[in-house]
C-alpha cells in the first residue's frame, strides 16, 4: 500500500528539498524565462512513492504545464526519486497542513470584483455607454477576425491559447492579468484581440468590453482634457470589465498619456478587471516607457508571437482559400511558392493571394507559378532584396557582444559558438543561400555543421524563450 507523504512531517521536508533540486534542474534545462513563467509558480502539494502532486495557481498554467512540460517535470523528479511515475498538476494553493495533504484542493477562488468607488451610472447604462464609446472611437471590430479564422501554429500557440482562455472565462484570470501579447507587424495581434472581443460579446454580452488602439486612447484623453471631461473619461474607462489597448508602443515617450494609462491600468487591475495589451516588443524592451509602467505591463502573462514559419504560412493560405472559395483553382504549387517567398508578415501574404485571384478573375486565366511570379513581380523583388550573410553576422555579433572575427573562427567556446549558430540559423532563414554556401561564409565550415546549427537552434527555441526572443528581435532588425 502506498502511503501519502504528508506535509510537515520529516518525510515531507525531504520531499520539499527534492522538489527544490528538481526545480533547479529544470531551471537549468529550460532557461530562466520559461522557468519563471511555468515552473516557478508550481508548488509541491503531496506525494506518494509513485506519484507527485503539484499545484498551479490557475487552470491556464495547469493546462499549459501539463501539455508542454509534463515530461520534463517527470524526468526532473526521477533524477531525485527514480520510482516516480506520474506527476499530477492540480489547480490550487499549497495547503501546508498535514491533514489537508491528500485532499483535493479547491480551485483558487477569484477575488470578487471590488466595486469602484463611484459607479458611472447604472450598469446597463454603462454598458450602453461603453458600447457607444467603442463604436464612436472608430475602432469597430473586423468581422473576419475571429478565433475560427485564426490558424494556430507553433509561433502563435501561446498567444492564441492565452487569448482563448481570457475570452472564454467569465471572470478575470489572475495569472493572465494583464495579458500582454507582442510580436512584429502583421503577425495576428489585432486579429486575436478582436477575436476575444467577438467571443465575449457573443457569449457573455453583459461583460463590458472596450477595444481601442493606444493611439485612440491618447486622442480621447487629449480631447477629454480639452473639453474638461477628464473625469468622465476616467470613469468611463474604469467602468469596463475588459479593456484592450492595441499597439501600446504608440504612447512611448508620451508622458502624460502614459501617466493616465498607468492610472487607468492600476485602477482596473485593482478592481480585478481584465486587461489585454499588445505591443511590438516585450514590456522590458519598450523604449520610452517609464520603468514602473514597463514592470507593470509584465506582471501577468506575457505571450510572444514569433515570426511565421513556412508551415504556418501555408496553413494560413489554405484557410483563406477555404473561406473565400474562389471560382478559380489555386494549385498547391502556387501556395507553396507564396509561403516560401513571402515570409515577412501575414498581411502581405494575404495581399499577394488576393492579387493573384483578382488578376486571374480579370484576365480569365488559370493560376500558375509562372504568372504568379509575373503578377507579383514588384512584391517579390522587394522580398528578394534580402539581407546578406555579412549583415546577419554583423548584427548577431553586435547583439551578443562578440567580435565579428569570431563568426569565422573555429573557436568552440559556448560564448562564441552559440551566437555563430544563431547567425547560421538566420542565414538559412533569411537568405536563399545553400548550406555549403553558408558554411563557406563562416570561415569554410562544412555544410553538416550549418545543418547541425540550424537544427540545434530550432530545438533550443522551443524551450528557451529568451533565445526565441533574441532571434525574433534580430529578425526584425535585419528586415529593417
Ligand atoms: P498585427 O496586429 O500583429 O500587426 P493583424 O492581426 O492585423 O497583425 O494581422 C494581419 C493580417 O494577417 C490580418 O488580416 C489577420 O487576419 C491575418 N493573420 C495574422 N495571423 C493569422 C493567423 N494565424 N491566422 C489567420 N490569419 C492571420
Ligand atoms: Mg495590429
Sign of CA dihedral 102, 103, 107, 110: negative
Ligand 1 neighbour 348 (Cβ under 6 A):
no
Sign of CA dihedral 265, 269, 272, 275: positive
Asked if 49 and 83 touch (Cβ cutoff 8 Å), the reply is yes
Ligand 1 neighbour 165 (Cβ under 6 A):
no
Q: What are the DSSP E strand ranges found in 238-357?
A: 242-246, 274-279, 301-305
Looking at per-residue pLDDT, the higher value among 385 and 43 belongs to 43
- CATH domain 123-305 topology: Rossmann fold (3.40.50)
Looking at per-residue pLDDT, the higher value among 126 and 220 belongs to 220
DSSP string covering 67-98:
HHSHHHHHHHHHHH-TT--EEEEEES-----G
Residue 163 has pLDDT above 90, yes or no: yes
274-279/301-305 β-pairing: unpaired
Taking only the tens place, the pLDDT of each residue in 8-50 is 344 556 888 889 999 998 998 888 777 877 898 899 988 887 8
Sign of CA dihedral 364, 368, 370, 375: positive
Show Cβ contacts of residue 205 under 8 Å, excluding neighbours closer than 6 positions: none
Q: What would the mean pLDDT of 231-251 be, rounded to a whole number? A: 87
Q: Which CATH superfamily is domain 12-98 in?
A: DnaA, N-terminal domain (3.30.300.180)
Architecture per CATH, domain 389-479, reads as Orthogonal Bundle (1.10)
* Cα 56 to Cα 69: distance, rounded to the nearest angstrom: 13
- CATH domain 311-377 topology: Helicase, Ruva Protein; domain 3 (1.10.8)
* Cα 129 to Cα 202: distance, rounded to the nearest angstrom: 18
Tell me what pLDDT residue 145 has. 95
Looking at per-residue pLDDT, the higher value among 385 and 166 belongs to 166
Helix (H) or strand (E) holding 268: helix 255-270
Residue 245 has pLDDT above 90, yes or no: yes
Residue having the nearest C-alpha atom to atom 1 of ligand 1: 186
Q: What would the mean pLDDT of 367-379 be, rounded to a whole number? A: 90
- DSSP letter, residue 52: E
Q: What's the helix, strand, coil split of the chain in %, to 5? A: 60, 10, 30
88 Cα–ligand 2 center, Å: 38
Q: What is the position in ligand 1's atom list of the atom closest to the CA of 188?
A: 6
Tell me what pLDDT residue 384 has. 59
* Cα 435 to Cα 376: distance, rounded to the nearest angstrom: 27
Residue having the nearest C-alpha atom to atom 4 of ligand 1: 186
Tell me what pLDDT residue 120 has. 35
Looking at per-residue pLDDT, the higher value among 399 and 433 belongs to 399
Ligand 1 neighbour 191 (Cβ under 6 A):
yes
Looking at per-residue pLDDT, the higher value among 9 and 191 belongs to 191
Tell me what pLDDT residue 97 has. 36
Asked if 126 and 237 touch (Cβ cutoff 8 Å), the reply is no
* Whether pTM exceeds 0.85: no
Q: Give the residue extent of every domain in the chain.
A: 12-98, 123-305, 311-377, 389-479
* Cα 52 to Cα 79: distance, rounded to the nearest angstrom: 13
Taking only the tens place, the pLDDT of each residue in 45-70 is 888 878 899 998 877 778 778 878 88
> 10 Å Cβ neighbour count for 285?
14
* Cα 166 to Cα 92: distance, rounded to the nearest angstrom: 19
- Whole-angstrom CA distances from 327 to 315, 321, 451 are 20, 10, 42
Tell me what pLDDT residue 256 has. 87
Taking only the tens place, the pLDDT of each residue in 274-309 is 999 999 999 988 888 989 899 999 989 999 999 899
- Grid look-up 547541425 returns 452
- Return residues with CB closer than 5 A to ligand 2 (ion): 189-190
Best residue among 139, 140, 188 to mutate for probing ligand 1, ranked by most atoms within 8 Å of CB: 188
Of the candidates 192, 190, 250, 196, which has an alpha carbon nearest to the alpha carbon of residue 218?
250
Asked if 175 and 292 touch (Cβ cutoff 8 Å), the reply is no
Ligand 1 neighbour 154 (Cβ under 6 A):
no
Proportion of the chain above pLDDT 70, given as a percent: 86
Show Cβ contacts of residue 402 under 8 Å, excluding neighbours closer than 6 positions: 415, 416, 419
- DSSP letter, residue 5: B
Taking only the tens place, the pLDDT of each residue in 72-88 is 999 999 888 888 888 88
Query: Lowest-confidence range among 75-79, 327-331, 377-381, 390-394?
Result: 377-381
Taking only the tens place, the pLDDT of each residue in 103-137 is 333 333 222 232 232 333 344 555 555 555 555 55
Asked if 433 and 427 touch (Cβ cutoff 8 Å), the reply is yes
Asked if 456 and 423 touch (Cβ cutoff 8 Å), the reply is no
Amino acid at each position: 500500500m502506498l502511503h501519502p507523504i504528508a506535509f510537515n512531517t520529516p518525510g515531507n521536508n525531504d520531499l520539499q528539498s527534492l522538489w527544490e533540486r528538481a526545480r533547479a534542474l529544470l531551471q537549468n534545462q529550460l532557461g530562466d524565462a520559461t522557468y519563471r513563467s511555468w515552473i516557478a509558480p508550481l508548488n509541491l502539494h503531496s506525494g506518494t512513492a509513485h506519484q507527485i502532486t503539484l499545484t498551479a495557481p490557475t487552470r491556464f498554467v495547469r493546462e499549459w504545464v501539463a501539455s508542454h512540460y509534463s515530461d520534463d517535470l517527470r524526468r526532473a523528479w526521477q533524477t531525485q526519486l527514480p520510482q516516480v511515475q506520474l506527476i499530477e498538476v492540480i489547480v490550487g494553493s499549497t495547503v501546508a497542513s498535514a491533514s489537508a495533504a491528500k485532499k483535493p484542493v479547491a480551485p483558487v477562488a477569484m477575488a470578487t470584483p471590488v466595486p469602484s468607488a463611484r459607479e458611472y451610472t447604472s450598469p446597463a447604462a454603462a454598458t450602453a455607454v461603453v458600447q457607444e464609446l467603442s463604436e464612436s472611437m472608430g475602432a469597430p471590430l473586423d468581422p473576419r477576425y475571429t478565433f475560427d479564422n485564426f490558424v494556430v501554429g507553433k509561433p502563435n500557440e501561446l498567444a492564441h491559447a492565452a487569448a482563448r482562455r481570457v475570452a472564454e472565462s467569465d471572470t478575470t484570470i489572475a495569472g493572465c492579468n494583464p495579458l500582454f501579447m507582442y510580436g512584429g507587424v502583421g503577425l495576428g495581434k489585432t486579429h486575436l484581440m478582436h477575436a476575444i472581443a467577438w467571443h465575449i460579446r457573443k457569449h457573455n454580452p453583459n461583460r463590458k468590453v472596450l477595444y481601442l488602439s493606444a493611439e485612440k486612447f491618447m486622442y480621447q484623453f487629449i480631447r477629454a482634457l480639452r473639453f474638461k471631461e477628464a473625469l468622465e473619461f476616467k470613469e468611463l474607462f474604469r467602468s469596463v470589465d475588459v479593456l484592450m489597448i492595441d499597439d501600446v508602443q504608440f504612447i512611448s515617450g508620451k508622458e502624460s498619456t502614459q501617466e493616465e494609462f498607468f492610472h487607468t491600468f492600476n485602477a482596473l487591475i485593482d478592481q480585478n478587471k481584465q486587461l489585454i495589451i499588445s505591443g511590438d516588443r516585450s514590456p522590458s524592451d519598450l523604449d520610452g516607457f517609464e520603468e514602473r509602467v514597463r514592470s507593470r505591463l509584465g506582471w501577468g502573462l506575457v505571450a510572444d508571437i514569433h515570426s511565421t514559419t513556412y508551415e504556418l504560412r501555408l496553413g494560413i493560405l489554405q484557410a483563406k482559400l477555404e473561406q473565400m472559395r474562389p471560382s478559380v483553382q489555386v494549385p498547391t504549387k502556387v501556395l507553396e511558392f507564396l509561403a516560401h517567398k513571402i515570409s515577412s508578415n501575414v498581411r502581405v501574404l494575404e495581399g499577394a493571394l488576393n492579387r493573384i485571384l483578382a488578376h486571374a478573375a480579370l484576365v480569365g486565366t488559370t493560376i500558375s507559378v509562372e504568372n504568379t511570379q509575373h503578377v507579383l513581380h514588384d512584391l517579390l523583388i522587394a522580398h528578394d532584396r534580402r539581407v546578406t550573410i555579412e549583415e546577419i553576422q554583423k548584427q548577431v555579433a553586435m547583439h551578443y557582444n562578440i567580435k565579428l572575427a569570431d563568426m569565422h573562427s573555429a573557436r568552440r567556446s559556448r560564448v562564441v559558438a552559440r551566437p555563430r549558430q544563431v547567425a547560421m540559423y538566420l542565414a538559412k532563414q533569411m537568405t536563399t543561400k545553400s548550406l555549403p554556401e553558408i558554411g563557406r561564409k563562416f570561415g569554410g565550415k562544412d555544410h553538416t555543421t550549418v545543418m547541425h546549427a540550424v537544427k540545434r537552434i530550432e530545438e533550443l527555441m522551443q524551450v528557451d524563450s529568451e533565445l526565441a526572443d533574441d532571434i525574433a528581435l534580430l529578425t526584425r532588425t535585419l528586415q529593417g
